[in-house]
Amino acid sequence: MKDHTILWIVGVSLMAVQIVFFLSCEKQTISQILADPQLYANKEARIEGEVVQSYSVMGHGAYQIDDGTGKLWVVSEKGVPRKGARVGVKGKIRDAYDLGSLVKLPDTVSSGLVMIESKHEAKVTVNK
């Protein structure tokens, strides 16, 4: 009987971990983030869209993502995707982040709401 109780507790714990994982992986739209930046401030978020601008110097830089609902700058220390690429990005949302320490960008993008990238990956679109 004791073994069944332990197995039940382990099973319920694993299900709880999976539920938390799937909820934390929910993709946000850029318009959701821009509409309520304090809700997302310093929290992990996921977005997906097309790279519309890209700046890079020695593996560090920034790129702007357009998901069809808005545009958001992403700061990366792991290299940046090229303009036109479709990517999924995971990172923390920061307000009033100074990009000047990473790379010199135009004044219009040197500060404001950005995502600090922890991971990005290419997304393949299938044309029908």
Q: Which residues have C-beta within 8 Å of that of residue 93, sequence separation ≥ 6?
A: 33, 37, 40, 41, 42, 43, 45, 113, 114, 115, 116
84 CB-contact burial (10 Å; exposed 0-12 / middle 13-18 / buried 19+): exposed
Rounded to a whole number of angstroms, the distance between the first and last alpha carbons of the chain is 56
Is 89 within 8 Å of 46 (Cβ atoms)? yes
Question: What pLDDT is recorded for position 88?
Answer: 95
Ordered domains of the chain (ranges, CATH): 28-122 (2.40.50.140)
- The pLDDT tens digits along the chain (128 residues) read 566 787 777 766 766 555 544 445 578 999 999 898 889 888 999 999 999 999 988 878 999 999 999 999 999 998 899 999 999 999 999 876 555 555 555 555 555 788 999 988 888 765 55
Q: How far apart are CA 75 and CA 54, in angstroms?
A: 10
* Residue (of 86, 84, 95, 88) closest to 118 by Cα position: 88
